[in-house]
Structure 1
Amino acid sequence: MERQFVIVTGASTGIGYELARICAQQGFDLLIAADEPEIEKAAAKLRSEPGAAAVDALHVDLATEGGVAQLYAAAKGRAVDVLMANAGRGLGHAFLDQNLDRICEVIDTNVTGTTSLLHKVGNEMRRRNKGRILITGSIAGFTPGSFQAVYNASKSYLNSLSFALREELRDTEVSVTCLMPGATETAFFERADMLDTKVGSEPKDDPALVARAGFDAMMNAKGDVVTGFKNKMQSAIANVTPSELLAKQHRKVAEPGTAKHEPAK
């Protein structure tokens, strides 16, 4: 029997790497991608996993249409059984203080690039009437993100897109699952320049546990999964709280200088 073929984006570290590791342990063939050269080291580690099959890596910028096309071409015409659209960028500080180029990088990666990849692979899956899609959204998508405005808005888009796409594919054998984690112990906050914030300095969720929850939900064809009891409570409260109040609350955790202790070096 032919092994299942999986594409995982943003797989060099964090949740993406842990998703890829689970797939490697399941014996799936992998094509992993990220916008940093560490993706090659990640691939080498994945190849050593018990039961691992083929693992191909691609260092590519998925914020560009050319990068998305390069990733799609790297599949070499092979049918994609599972797409884990996990690539994403974060950005802290006040919106008007942020560099516009970095703002566009967040939008192009989280929104434009992800949308393009979903459209390409999703059409292929629909033609075959077979496949699974896991989109990494976030509970941040439920909250106006003061001092993290563009990132939260991009995750709101992904959350919404995943539910809409799932409904449109309801009568097919293609499932769409949205993984909505809270703050997770990854390099995200360092890259987003948020180590001096309360959310950046506090303990966070284990990416391996987050990935496992997302993988299991996808394999069971569930529509979504919010990881962790605290995050479930936050998302439930956000649904009944006025947006103005949510924005004020988010400021308390994301504004620079709100860290309770000096960030680890």
Structure 2
Amino acid sequence: MGNGKLAVITGASTGIGFELAHIAAQEGYDLLVVADEPLIDSAANDFRTHGTNVISVEADLSTIEGNDQLLAAANGRPIDLLLANAGRGLGKAFVDQDVADWRMVIDTNVTGTTYLLQKAAQQMKGRGEGRILITGSIAGLMPGSFQAVYNGTKAYLDSFSYALREELKDSGVTVTVLMPGATETEFFDRADMLDTNVGTQDKDDAGKVARDGWDAMMSGAGHVVSGWKNKLQAAISHITPDSVLAKMHRNMAEPGSGK
């Protein structure tokens, strides 16, 4: 039987979000899962095998309307856990990108996520309890040559999570940011980055990353960097000039580097 509590997980059709939803279901939470593709409905069937109630919503989380559609699907139930995991990547040189493409990254990763976080946090603060996990990235710790807009949005999320955590510190609501590195998901294919070093190298397991994020959220930690290589990279980023980090990032993300 479930525990009667509701976990909302965005970007749950694949990757880290899919694994987070499995963990939440195993822990007895009812699920409200959302993604911007029909695959979310078949993912929901997988989650139901754990014996919990699952509602799936296909919505465009880059829009306010899409996020309102998600919130309406909760049907008035309080949100106990919000796992704000939906995100969009974009490779290649910024000057060569279509406006619609980089706007989608900002609207999904920044605008839509910020709106959803505000709505959920207001509700949680009013009740005096709740947990929030935001999927940031160690990409937010370094200027992202050939991933410039994406890294910028993750820097925003990393920063925003700490600020929100401080604002809510005495409210009974915890905020945790998960900072994975390159993870084995559909991200690099969708970002058109399969011809880069970072796109072709061995990556972290999405299940392990999700477990690290879940455990950190449940313990109320401020952040977790998943993977020892990423911990090392995060530490290096704090003592390395941004101009050097930008050059390092070029070596990972420049098109053709993975050939």
TM-score (norm 1): 0.96
1:3 shift after superposition? 1.3
The aligned residue for residue 124 of structure 2 is 125
Matching of residue 156 in structure 1 with residue 155 in structure 2? yes
The aligned residue for residue 164 of structure 2 is 165
The aligned residue for residue 46 of structure 2 is 45
Aligned residue runs from structure 1 range 122-201, under 5 A: 122-201=121-200
CA offsets per residue over residues 162-190 of structure 1, 9 Å max, x none? 00000111111100000000000000000
Aligned residue runs from structure 1 range 51-66, under 5 A: 52-66=51-65
The aligned residue for residue 22 of structure 1 is 23
Matched residues in 2 for 1:241 and 1:88: separation? 27
Matched residues in 1 for 2:118 and 2:27: separation? 26
Aligned residue runs from structure 1 range 94-133, under 5 A: 94-133=93-132
Matched residues in 2 for 1:133 and 1:82: separation? 6
1:48 shift after superposition? 1.1
Which sits farther off after the overlay, 1-10 or 155-164?
1-10
Matching of residue 84 in structure 1 with residue 61 in structure 2? no
Matched residues in 1 for 2:43 and 2:91: separation? 27
CA offsets per residue over residues 182-228 of structure 1, 9 Å max, x none? 00000000000000000000110000000000000000000000001
1:4 shift after superposition? 1.2
Matching of residue 4 in structure 1 with residue 5 in structure 2? yes
CA RMSD in angstroms comes to: 0.8
Letter in 2 for 1:164: A
- Report the count of equivalent residues: 258
CA separation of 1:98 and 1:126: change in aligned 2, threshold 3 A: same
The aligned residue for residue 31 of structure 1 is 32
1:94 shift after superposition? 0.5
Residues 147 and 253 of structure 2 are in contact (CA less than 8 Å); yes or no, is this contact kept in structure 1? Answer: yes
Give ranges in structure 1 of 5+ residues lacking alignment.
261-265
Letter in 2 for 1:41: S
Residues 91 and 191 of structure 2 are in contact (CA less than 8 Å); yes or no, is this contact kept in structure 1? Answer: yes
Letter in 2 for 1:239: H
Q: Is the partner of 1:147 in helix, strand or coil?
A: coil
Q: Is the partner of 1:249 in helix, strand or coil?
A: helix
CA offsets per residue over residues 66-121 of structure 1, 9 Å max, x none? 00111011100100000000000000000001111000000000000000000001
Residues 8 and 32 of structure 2 are in contact (CA less than 8 Å); yes or no, is this contact kept in structure 1? Answer: yes
TM-score (norm 2): 0.98
Letter in 2 for 1:27: G
1:247 shift after superposition? 0.3
Matched residues in 2 for 1:207 and 1:3: separation? 27
Q: Which runs of structure 1 show a deviation greater than 2 angstroms over 4 or more consecutive aligned residues?
A: none
Matched residues in 1 for 2:237 and 2:9: separation? 30
Residues 3 and 29 of structure 2 are in contact (CA less than 8 Å); yes or no, is this contact kept in structure 1? Answer: no
Matched residues in 2 for 1:36 and 1:144: separation? 30
Residues 11 and 87 of structure 2 are in contact (CA less than 8 Å); yes or no, is this contact kept in structure 1? Answer: yes
CA offsets per residue over residues 22-50 of structure 1, 9 Å max, x none? 0011111000000010000100111113x
Matched residues in 2 for 1:4 and 1:240: separation? 42
- Quote the sequence identity (%): 60
CA separation of 1:183 and 1:2: change in aligned 2, threshold 3 A: closer
1:2 shift after superposition? 5.2
